[in-house]
């Protein structure tokens, strides 16, 4: 016998998912981590009652938070992931041959444990280039000794331990932890949900004041509130649509295209087209 998992993003409006059974449920020192076996989306992880990923839809988020930056950078060797405990972002990053070292700084080992146990195909945890550190990412970026080429902010929604991921000082610290050609991407909530508009504005203001290039881009994520999700791209100078980058995308995508279910050359461009009401949130 199953039950319905509900996530309301706006009063009583939201997502409802048929759940067969609970596979994992643990109140960690930081948050409530749960994994459900669902009717049609495979296993689904939630944190504090918010969907993080399902086995069936995670490809969208993980490809889209990784490849626009990894292809835009001419030679990404060192990558830092803040959060990302399920391992999906690291898996996509590690598809890029130039990458030599990935630090994944996840505050909560329960997330990694739940993913390894119940979503074994999401992570690539045995990859020797991947280094998992159970630390607070916000403190970590303040003390980076060897800078990174790409930093990916793969945190949860702006409540609990992820709240600081939406503040300006964090982006200044990230800027300082990046190399000269450095690029940052960050998950940035849904423009259809009014309570998230402040988060979108915070990230866009913080990155525009700190980085030379700062743009919002989009992805269809069916199990996130409204299905319309934003991500932020910020860099010290590399425009994601310069001729040089587009040439790099066109040359690089074919090598890993067979592993990509969402990202491609067209999506690299099209994802940055913002509807008027989205631009109006932060312009």
Residue from 154, 157, 198, 266 carrying the catalytic annotation: 154
Least Cβ distance, residue 248 to a second copy (angstroms): 18
For residue 260, state whether it binds a second copy (rule: CB under 8 A).
Answer: yes
Pick 121 or 261: Cβ nearer a second copy = 261
- The residue to which tokens 């990046």 are assigned: 178
- Separation CA 188–CA 98 (nearest Å): 27
Least Cβ distance, residue 270 to a second copy (angstroms): 3
- What's the N-to-C CA distance of the chain in angstroms? 49
Dihedral (CA of 228, 229, 234, 237) sign: negative
Left, alpha or beta for 79 (phi > 0: left; psi -120 to 50: alpha)?
beta
Can you state the angle between helices 168-176 and 197-210, rounded to 10 degrees?
Answer: 40
Pick 148 or 224: Cβ nearer a second copy = 224
Least Cβ distance, residue 174 to a second copy (angstroms): 27
For residue 148, state whether it binds a second copy (rule: CB under 8 A).
Answer: no
Q: Which stretch binds a second copy (CB under 8 A): 16-24, 26-34, 126-134, 143-151?
A: 16-24
For residue 250, state whether it binds a second copy (rule: CB under 8 A).
Answer: no
For residue 275, state whether it binds a second copy (rule: CB under 8 A).
Answer: yes
DSSP calls for 167-212: SHHHHHHHHHTEEEEEEEEEE---TT-GGGHHHHHHHHHHHHHHSS
Least Cβ distance, residue 127 to a second copy (angstroms): 23
For residue 13, state whether it binds a second copy (rule: CB under 8 A).
Answer: yes
For residue 21, state whether it binds a second copy (rule: CB under 8 A).
Answer: no
Q: Is 154 part of the annotated catalytic residue set?
A: yes
Q: 162-173 burial by CB neighbour count: b if 16+ within 10 A, else e?
A: beebbeeebbbb
Least Cβ distance, residue 74 to a second copy (angstroms): 23
Pick 40 or 126: Cβ nearer a second copy = 40
For residue 100, state whether it binds a second copy (rule: CB under 8 A).
Answer: no
Q: Could you write out the three-class secondary structure of 6-59?
A: EEEEECCEEEEEEEEEEEEEEECCCCEEEEEEECCCCEEEEECCEEEEECCCHH
Is 90 within 8 Å of 81 (Cβ atoms)?
Answer: yes
- Interacting positions 197-216 with a second copy (CB under 8 A): none
For residue 43, state whether it binds a second copy (rule: CB under 8 A).
Answer: no
By annotation, the residues acting in catalysis are 154
Residues at the contact surface with a second copy, assessed by CB under 8 A:
2, 4, 6, 8, 10-18, 38-41, 57, 59-60, 192, 218, 220-222, 226-228, 257, 260-264, 266-267, 269-277
């Amino acid at each position: 016998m199953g039950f319905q998992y509900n996530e309301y993003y706006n009063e009583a409006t939201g997502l409802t998912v048929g759940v067969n059974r609970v596979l994992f449920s643990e109140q960690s020192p930081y948050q409530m981590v749960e994994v459900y076996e669902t009717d049609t989306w495979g296993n689904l992880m939630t944190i504090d009652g918010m969907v993080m990923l399902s086995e069936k839809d995670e490809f969208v988020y993980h490809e889209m938070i990784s490849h626009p930056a990894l292809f835009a950078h001419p030679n990404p060797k060192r990558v830092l992931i803040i959060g990302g405990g399920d391992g999906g972002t690291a898996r996509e990053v590690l598809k890029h041959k130039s990458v030599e070292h990935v630090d994944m700084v996840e505050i909560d080992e329960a997330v990694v444990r739940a993913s390894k146990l119940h979503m074994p195909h999401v992570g690539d945890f045995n990859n020797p280039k991947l280094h998992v550190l159970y630390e607070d990412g916000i403190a970590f970026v303040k003390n980076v000794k060897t800078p990174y080429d790409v930093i990916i902010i793969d945190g949860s929604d702006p409540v609990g331990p992820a709240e600081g991921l939406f503040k300006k000082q964090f982006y200044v610290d990230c800027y300082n932890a990046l190399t000269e050609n450095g690029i940052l991407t960050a998950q940035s909530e849904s423009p259809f949900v009014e309570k998230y508009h402040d988060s979108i504005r915070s990230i866009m203001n913080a990155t525009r004041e700190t980085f030379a290039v700062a743009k919002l881009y989009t992805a269809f994520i069916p199990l996130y509130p409204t299905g319309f999700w934003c991500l932020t791209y910020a860099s010290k100078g590399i425009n994601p649509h310069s001729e040089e980058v587009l040439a790099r995308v066109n040359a690089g995508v074919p090598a890993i295209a067979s592993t990509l279910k969402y990202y491609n050359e067209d999506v690299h461009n099209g994802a940055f087209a913002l509807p008027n009401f989205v631009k109006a949130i932060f312009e």
